[in-house]
Amino acid sequence: MTAIKTLNLTKKFKDKTAVKNLNLEIKENELFSLLGVNGAGKTTTIKMLSCLIKPTDGDAYIFDKSIVKDDYDIKQFINVSPQETAVAPNLTVEENLQLIAGIYGNNKEASRKKVSNIMNSFSLNEVAKDRANKLSGGYQRRLSIAMALISEPKLLFLDEPTLGLDVLARRELWKIIKKLKQNITIILTTHYLEESVAFSDRIGIMVKGELKIIGTADEIMKKAGKDNFEDAFIALSESEAV
Amino acid sequence: MRIASFALRNSKEILRDKLNLVFGLGFPIIVLLLLSAIQANISVQLFAIDHLTPGISVFGLSFISLFSGMLIAKDRTSSFMLRLYISPMKSSDFILGYTLPLLPMAVMQIIICFIAAIALGLTISINILITIIVLIPAAVLFIAIGLLCGSIFNDKQVGGICGALLTNLTAWLSGTWFDLSLVGGTFKSIAELLPFSHAVDAGRAALSGNFNMIFSHLVWVIGYAVVILGLAIYAFTIKAKSDNK
């Protein structure tokens, strides 16, 4: 089944076109990395797909629901782990998870079960009663992703999930992302190219608001005529950036 | 469930900030004690406890504006709000989720103010209960002012506007500290066009048993509360869209 299908998706801010005629299809349970240098249009694309902003032109279908017409329906089955850790600072880990479970319509009993399950999966039990603002960066990011998953989304946006984490915390999160793969559709944005190569089924590179190339890491390297992905990324990004 | 979960979170965020409790409950009571001490040492009836208590209760509510404004302004600039915007929450869920936990806090603040006043000599009567009920629209008004400020300004600006400007406006233009007729002229006219003195006068009328005087003042408070709450909902909706660009 198709998870995301965009049709000439376009977003303009006054005179500036942030995303131009984006045509993209992502399959269910695929892990898709959306890459690009700063200002390439990744964030605007994610904001449109997560129904935060409306497109200027075109449309996108998330599990056959239009982001223009059916945004309320779409919000029931998507979730996001934003780049900056998105937690309620004065609530404990357990309370943060209960809050999100409640916001997605779970009653007390259902919330309790889901919170217990997700705390086990994310090894959060030892900090369950700690306030979020007292957690280390690694735990905060882990909580932030757990909060995105407690609603059991069909589509998850992971925006720079390992940014600013030390090497141990990054490795821990990698394990979690690997576990999630194949059970949920994930759109990953990251500046760590090795992460996208290691985890992604396919990668799309955006340059100046347009999708420059799409394919597996090997396909992209081959098309760019480079031996490693970083060189391929730079070559493709610079080819349109001048 | 959605509103209840969000309201519970907001209660915890406010109550776990100790500064909120110190300022919200402590400051109005300190002022009440101070003015009562002054009254005990002067011969004229300047700060009689039955005259002072409704005014201090309204003054204390200005801190509720500060709590609500700061909470929304901080939320708006955080990634946590991005998570909520992506959730199925609607604008009305947000506004109710912010308002509902603040209303019992405001009523509790008024009750504590009256308990302190009773300890200082206020006669216990059914009129106290009626006054507390009459002050509820004023509580909604101050919550709405906070929602509006929090929707428009950042947390530093809210600190200045609700923390300094609004508390002073409430103090000077409500007739709590002095009779507005003593100043008269434009000052009195401006004060009467604003809801603060009407909130205090409605409370004083209720406490003194002049029930026929309540409504003419209360209608100003209710009118302002409805308009400002409407403006807050509008501002929140508009800002939610622009914050996401």
Asked if A236 and A227 touch (Cβ cutoff 8 Å), the reply is: no
Name the token pair of B123.
Answer: 């006669």
Question: How many angstroms separate the CA atoms of A213 and A220, rounded?
Answer: 7
The pLDDT assigned to A203 comes to 96
Higher model confidence: residue B164 or residue B64? B64
Question: How many angstroms separate the CA atoms of A233 and A221, rounded?
Answer: 8
If one counts the domains in chain B, the total is 1
pLDDT at A242 exceeding the cut of 60: no
The pLDDT assigned to B15 comes to 85
The pLDDT assigned to A103 comes to 94
Contact state of A103 with B88 under an 8 Å Cβ cutoff: yes
Question: How many angstroms separate the CA atoms of A173 and A140, rounded?
Answer: 11
Q: Give tens-digit pLDDT for A166-201.
A: 787 788 788 888 888 878 999 999 888 998 998 899
The pLDDT assigned to A241 comes to 45
β partners of residue A5: A25, A61
Query: Residue A86 is nearest to which of B2, B79, B245, comparing CB atoms?
Result: B79
Contact state of A102 with B5 under an 8 Å Cβ cutoff: yes
Find the closest chain B residue to A18 by CA distance: B245
Quick one: pLDDT band at residue A240, thresholds 50, 70, 90? low
Asked if B203 and B134 touch (Cβ cutoff 8 Å), the reply is: yes
Contact state of A72 with B88 under an 8 Å Cβ cutoff: yes
Q: Give tens-digit pLDDT for A105-164.
A: 999 999 999 999 999 888 899 999 999 999 988 889 889 989 998 998 999 999 888 887
Partners of B12 on chain A (C-beta within 8 Å) are 90-91, 95
β partners of residue A189: A159
Higher model confidence: residue A143 or residue B45? A143
Highest mean pLDDT among A172-181, A233-242, B97-106: B97-106
Give the pLDDT mean for B211-240. Answer: 92
Q: Give tens-digit pLDDT for B121-145.
A: 899 999 999 999 999 999 999 999 9
Asked if A224 and A241 touch (Cβ cutoff 8 Å), the reply is: no
Question: How many angstroms separate the CA atoms of B27 and B171, rounded?
Answer: 13
DSSP H or E segment with residue B116: helix B91-119
Name the one residue in this structure whose structure tokens are 């009653």: A107
Higher model confidence: residue A239 or residue A50? A50
Contact state of A99 with B5 under an 8 Å Cβ cutoff: yes
Eight-class DSSP state of A33:
E
B138: amino acid identity, one letter: A
Contact state of B86 with A95 under an 8 Å Cβ cutoff: no
Question: How many angstroms separate the CA atoms of B43 and B232, rounded?
Answer: 46
Rounded (5°) CA angle A30-A31-A37: 135
Name the token pair of B153.
Answer: 């300004």
The pLDDT assigned to B44 comes to 67
Higher model confidence: residue A83 or residue A152? A152
Q: Give tens-digit pLDDT for B23-40.
A: 777 777 887 788 788 877
What's the mean pLDDT when you consider all of chain B? 87
Question: What are the Cα distances from residue B64, in Å, to A215, A235, B59, B102?
Answer: 55, 56, 10, 7
B66-75 CB burial, b ≥16 within 10 A, e <16? bbbbbbbbbb
The pLDDT assigned to B163 comes to 72
Strands of the sheet with A155-159, listed across from one edge: A78-81, A155-159, A185-189, A31-35, A202-207, A210-215
Contact state of A86 with B78 under an 8 Å Cβ cutoff: yes
The pLDDT assigned to B244 comes to 65
pLDDT at B58 exceeding the cut of 60: yes
- Interface size, chain A vs chain B, as Cβ–Cβ contacts under 8 Å: 82
Q: Give tens-digit pLDDT for A13-64.
A: 988 999 999 999 999 999 999 999 988 999 899 999 999 999 999 999 999 9
Quick one: pLDDT band at residue B177, thresholds 50, 70, 90? confident
Partners of A83 on chain B (C-beta within 8 Å) are 79
Give the pLDDT mean for B181-189. Answer: 83
**Contacts for A189 with CB less than 8 Å, ≥ 6 apart:** A33, A34, A35, A42, A43, A46, A157, A158, A159, A160
Query: Residue B16 is nearest to which of A84, A90, A148, comparing CB atoms?
Result: A90
Name the one residue in this structure whose structure tokens are 């329906």: A73
Quick one: pLDDT band at residue A213, thresholds 50, 70, 90? very high
Give this complex's ipTM: 0.86
pLDDT at A209 exceeding the cut of 60: yes
Domain extent at residue B135: 2-243
